Amino acid sequence: MTYQRNNHGGTPETDCAPMPETAVPLPPTDSTTAPIEGPAFYDWVGAAALEEDIAEGLPMEQLVGLSPDRWIIVAMDIHPVRSRNRDEELRLYLADLEQLNLVDVADPRRAVADYAMRHGTVPVHRVSVGHVRVGEVSAQMKRAYVCLRLSLLGDHPLQVMSESGPRAV
């Protein structure tokens, strides 16, 4: 397990927790390029990583009813909190393989990543999905990792003085 520097500048000695080897920090507000607008709205900020269960779970495209020959989900915004005035929401960012001239490639995800490297961006379609609940998404995952910290701490590192519980050595 390696530690990933996140928006908080943590290190293995001071970070809140280790990130999985494949983790990539994602913007917590929107999967485009929107940064966190400060602590006025968000109490907790951080990063998340999900690993699809390719042996027993459905591919995300199939779960939401998309043709994987045409569409690739390249990002998602998950809003799991329900309140009186807002329901949970799943927003997907879809790359159209036909539009990108990437139909019939062996590895569509890799091809979209290569496209992004060549062009500096990926054109996407943002779609809100109402028929798939957030719990259904997590049920398709092998592992999930979420690391959150109090937003008011900003970039100040955490210094772990002791550890207890199941993960303590």
The SS3 of residue 145 is: strand
Which tokens go with 106?
Answer: 């062996």
**pLDDT beneath 50: ranges in the chain:** 1-29, 34-40
pLDDT computed for residue 134 by the predictor: 84
Report residue 150: phi and psi, to 5°.
-60, 125
CB proximity list for 27: less than 8 A, separation 6 or greater: 33, 34, 35, 36
Which tokens go with 53?
Answer: 């269960």
pLDDT computed for residue 24 by the predictor: 38
| Dihedral over Cα of 93, 141, 21, 80: its sign | positive
- Give me the count of residues in the chain: 169
pLDDT computed for residue 12 by the predictor: 34
pLDDT computed for residue 151 by the predictor: 84
pLDDT computed for residue 132 by the predictor: 86
Are 45 and 149 a contacting pair, CB within 8 Å?
yes
User: Is the whole model's pTM more than 0.75, yes or no?
Assistant: no
